[in-house]
Amino acid sequence: MDFNLPKGLVDYLAELDRFIETEIKPLEEQDDNIRFFDHRREHSRTDWDKGGLPRQEWELLLRESRRRADKAGHFRFALAKELGGSARDVGCGPNLAMAVIREHFAAKGLGLHNDLQNEHSIVGNSIGAQLMWNYGTDAQKAEWMDDLAAGKRGFAFGITEPKHGSDATHMETVAVRDGDHWIIDGEKTWNSGIHHASHDMVMARTSGKAGDGHGITAFLVPANAPGFTIEEYLWTFNMPTDHAHVTLKGVRVPHSSIFGGEGRGLMVVQHFFNENRIRQAASSLGAAQFCVNESVKYANVRAPFGKKLASNQAIQFPLVELQTQCEMVRALIHKTAWIMDTVGNFQASDKVSMCNYWANRLCCEAADRAMQVHGGLGYSRHKPFEHIYRHHRRYRITEGAEEIQMRRVAGYMFGFMEQKAPKGVVE
């Protein structure tokens, strides 16, 4: 067994660091762009007078950083070789490489290189591009693929409903065929990214019954279609928001708008869940490590009552426990990502769930502890810990709440689950 990272990947991390220092950091600091990352960050990012949406200046800055990263050959790293992606050989599979990169970035703290509040990164996660590459028709690829790969365009995701979240197979949005068209009725909530997307990937039941994995179809619905209405944007623990409540009343779309095949929509979203979850876990691990590192630094310089905080076991022991968990979760994430690369994405579903729920919880605990170690300064917005806590607290709910992740692990442990792939997926 060799636990060392491949030299190619280590060298690439160094290359990314150089790119951040020469291209991204100067952009972050010019024209007071640092306002999006310092104590003014939430206000600077949020257009309070437009439903709490992201400010245009903020999103234009993110777009420019992606453009520079794409020009330098970094943004498409995770995509197929044909799209300008993983032709770069770093000596390991893409799941392990992306997990290491995501942790590396998050461990640097807040910055334009990687802002998880909206899944921005100079090495793109690019889920829309991956979905289009694997499930799009030739006509859909011709229209979308280039812009998706470059991060210039995206579609929103309409899956969750007011009455159905983790129980997505019970969704009440339906689509009925009418000749060469489909008529969609229903509503979606937490419909992220719809504020600037031209299309919404709407999941609707077209056959079967509630609870069936098959019979749900994904439609690429134009956001300006008659009957498609954005009712409101839901304000969250961490602002700005792009999470909309959407209603669809008699929305008519052509049969060609089906994405991934009729009745197979659930497979579209499930297919990359494991990849997303292991990357999310790695990001939470990196943010947790940042919180621990910053706390250790502060404890070594802060000296109340004439002695350093670091000399107190009440400070040492909680940080020791967090560091121990970081080391253990890191080993499990690397192992799990390696299994996914060598055997298949669904051969480690239980371990993916372990990594995901534990790393997300760990990050929240580390951010909370960092606030405590830093005292009043840690509670203020002049340190990033409150921002990290508020963002990563979301991860304990989204993409499968931690209870759902634990349920999956229990399913494998106690024999309740026989199939490796999630419901709706045909391997």
Q: Chain-centre distance of CA 404, in angstroms?
A: 17
Q: Does residue 26 sit in the same domain as residue 91? A: yes
Q: Does residue 42 sit in the same domain as residue 106? A: yes
Q: What is the pLDDT of residues 48-91, one digit of tens each?
A: 999 999 999 999 999 999 999 999 999 999 998 899 887 568 98
Say if 298 falls within a structural domain. yes
Q: Does residue 349 sit in the same domain as residue 385? A: yes
The domain of 82 spans 7-132
Predicted local confidence at residue 419, as pLDDT: 67
Number of domains in the chain: 3
Q: Does residue 124 sit in the same domain as residue 44? A: yes
pLDDT, mean of residues 266-270: 84
d(CA 8, CA 1): 18
d(CA 95, CA 307): 45
- 285 versus 211: the higher-pLDDT residue is 285
Say if 149 falls within a structural domain. no
The answer to whether residue 274 scores a pLDDT higher than 90 is no
Query: In one letter, which amino acid is 243?
Result: H
d(CA 351, CA 133): 27
Q: What is the pLDDT of residues 179-203, one digit of tens each?
A: 999 999 999 999 999 999 999 999 9
Q: Does residue 296 sit in the same domain as residue 409? A: yes
d(CA 192, CA 273): 16
Q: What would the 3-class secondary structure string for 59-83 be?
A: HHHHHHHHHHHHHCCCCCCCCCHHH
- Beta-carbon contacts of 151 under 8 Å, excluding residues fewer than 6 positions away, are 63, 66, 67, 70, 75, 124, 126
Query: In one letter, which amino acid is 264?
Result: R
Say if 398 falls within a structural domain. yes
Say if 183 falls within a structural domain. yes
Q: What is the mean pLDDT of the chain?
A: 93
Q: With cut-offs at 50, 70 and 90, classify the pLDDT of residue 422.
A: low
Residue found by looking up tokens 């605990």 in the block: 365
Q: Does residue 35 sit in the same domain as residue 67? A: yes
The answer to whether residue 303 scores a pLDDT higher than 80 is yes
